[in-house]
Structure formats: structure tokens, C-alpha cells
């Protein structure tokens, strides 16, 4: 018969190592998060403006080519 104790140790040791990695808490600065939200909002509003400008220009060019 095989010695199942050595294989169990291999399997449990892998899971224990993963659990130790998960125990470490990550901390984040609230100011960094708020600045990231502000910059994301600015980027999103710029992208909306660019998209609306490009689509309106496209519609104007399309209308000008028809007439």
C-alpha cells in the first residue's frame, strides 16, 4: 500500500500557503481612490464630448454630400 500521509501533506501544504497570502490585508489611501474617480469622470466626459462632436460632424458631412 501507498503511504497516503505524504500525499496529504503535499496537498494541504499548497492550500495553507495560499491561505497565508490571502491573510495579508491590502490598504489603500482614500485620497488616491477619490483622485482616481475624479480623473475617470473627466476622461469619460471628454470621451462623450469627442464622440458627440465626431458623430455630429459625420452627420453634417453626410447631409452635405446628399444635397
For residue 11, the model assigns a pLDDT of 62
- Tell me the C-alpha distance between 18 and 8, whole Å: 16
Its pTM stands at: 0.52
| pLDDT for the residue 27 | 76
Domain hosting residue 45, numbered range: 4-66
Task: Output the CA–CA distances (angstroms, integers) from residue 34 to 24, 30, 42, 43, in the order listed.
Answer: 24, 6, 13, 14
Cα–Cα distance, 4 to 12 (Å, whole number): 12
24 Cα distance to chain centroid: 21
Predicted confidence at residue 67, as pLDDT, reads: 79
Instruction: Determine how many CB atoms are found less than 10 A away from the CB of residue 55.
Output: 10
Please give the grid coordinates belonging to residue 20. 497565508
pLDDT tens digits in sequence order for the chain, 67 residues long = 455 555 556 666 666 655 555 566 677 789 999 999 999 999 999 999 999 999 999 999 999 998 7
| Total domain count, the chain | 1
Q: What does the pLDDT read at residue 29?
A: 85
Amino acid at each position: 500500500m501507498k503511504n497516503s500521509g505524504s500525499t496529504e501533506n503535499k496537498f494541504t501544504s499548497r492550500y495553507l500557503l495560499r491561505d497565508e497570502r490571502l491573510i495579508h490585508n491590502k490598504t489603500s489611501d482614500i485620497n488616491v481612490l477619490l483622485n482616481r474617480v475624479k480623473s475617470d469622470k473627466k476622461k469619460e466626459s471628454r470621451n462623450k464630448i469627442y464622440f458627440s462632436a465626431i458623430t455630429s460632424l459625420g452627420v453634417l458631412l453626410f447631409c452635405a454630400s446628399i444635397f
